[in-house]
Amino acid sequence: MSIFPDKTFESIKRAKSRYKLTQTHDWTDGEIDFLKENYFQISKADLVSGLGKHPQSIVKKINEFGLDSIDYKRDGYYSHNINSFESKEDLTVCYWAGFLVADGCNVNNKALKLSLSQKDIEHLYRFVKFINYDGQIVGNKKGNKIKKNGEYFRYCSVWVSNAKEMCSQLSKNFGFVPRKTHKLEFPLFDNLKQKLAFIAGYIDGDGYISLTKNKKYLFCGINGTEKFLDEIKNIFDELFLPKKGKRLANVSKEKGIYRYSIKGYRAYSLIKTINCMDLPLLKRKWDKINLLYL
């Protein structure tokens, strides 16, 4: 909850008095406590107003304590299951690995960040539960407001710090590496179910499932590197053959971005198959099959 609920001059003044904040170049213990306790609770603009310091001074102190790259708490790091991605045998592990490869961020093999739209906050809670993370979700009430492509939208995010073991497992087993955009390769798996679980997670993170206006046909599309999508195409070409006389879809490139999509009967078969697997799917995507007008 924000310590400046009404964001009035008086509320900020009261907070300054409570923490004994002063406008000096040196940082007092009270100011440092204020920063640590409220960094994840209020906006940076409120931090500037509350502390009465230059934004660059605040950013420097944030970096000093690592507040912008770790999930800080007084007694140290928040805990998580460091072996969450040690094995590929569990399909749920493969699913979440695919989701992270699509939508997560490996921060220098030391920390993990996952940000989702506010409408998908329940999915973020599922991930937090899966890795037994006891930290907080930033923006878990109203969501943080950010600007993208000229529009504002709300998102929620989680930082998992001190996560060297987990990042190492994700990198080794699933190709989840820092700055993965141009390095992405499809991981090696032991069986087909593991591949499909991984792909399902990837679609939930960076893919789409849609219906035509008349609700007679389904589309499923994915973005990625050419090599990564070629492997997915090969899997789909073996499993979900088009009806007789129909051509197989190919990986395409538009404005520097590689895309692969299937539609109609093939998309229907894929979605039906994955819906029969016991995975923590993002229902708003996969349930669209129920809206299909057959």
At position 167, the amino acid (one-letter code) is C
Q: Note whether 259 and 221 are within 8 A (CB).
A: yes
Single pTM value for the model: 0.73
3-state secondary structure 2-19: CCCCCCCHHHHHHHHHHH
DSSP 81-142: -TTTTS-SSSHHHHHHHHHHHHHEEEETTTEEEEEEEGGGHHHHHHHHHHTT--S--BT-SS
Q: For residues 63 and 69, give the distance between their C-alpha atoms in angstroms, rounded to a whole number.
A: 8
- The pLDDT score that the predictor gives to residue 26 is 75
Q: Which CATH number fits domain 76-178: 1.10.260, 3.10.28, 2.30.300, 3.40.50?
A: 3.10.28
Closest alpha carbon to 67 in 37, 46, 26: 37
- Higher model confidence: residue 47 or residue 125? 125
Q: In angstroms, rounded to a whole number, what is the distance separating the alpha carbons of residues 212 and 28?
A: 60
- When mean pLDDT is compared over 11-20, 132-141, 169-178, the highest value belongs to 169-178
Question: pLDDT band for position 102 (50/70/90)?
Answer: very high
Give, as one character, the DSSP assignment of residue 17.
H
d(CA 294, CA 219): 15
Q: 197-230 in b/e burial notation, b at 16+ Cβ within 10 A?
A: bbbbbbbbbbbebebeeeeebbebbbbbbeebbe
Residue 51 contacts residue 35 (beta carbons within 8 Å): yes
Tell me if domain 76-178 and domain 202-291 are identical in fold: yes
Q: For 197-246, how does the pLDDT look when each residue is reduced to its tens digit (9 = 90+)? A: 999 999 999 999 999 988 889 999 999 999 999 999 999 999 987 777 67
* pLDDT higher at 69 or 243: 243
What is the pLDDT confidence band of residue 2, given thresholds at 50, 70 and 90? very low
Band (69; pLDDT cuts 50, 70, 90) = very low
Q: Which residues pair with 242 in a beta bridge?
A: none
Is residue 84 within 8 A of residue 131, CB to CB? The reply is: yes
Enumerate the domain spans of the chain.
9-68, 76-178, 202-291
Distance between CA atoms of 199 and 232, rounded to whole angstroms? 8
DSSP 138: B
**Span 48-60, mean pLDDT?**
79
Query: Could you tell me which residues are beta bridge partners of residue 257?
Result: 254
For 202-291, CATH gives 3.10.28.10
Beta-ladder partners of 107: 111
| Token pair for 59 | 């950013």
Q: Which of 18-27, 145-154, 263-272 has the highest mean pLDDT?
A: 263-272
115 C-beta neighbours (distance < 10 Å), count: 17
Which uninterrupted H or E stretch holds 44? helix 44-51
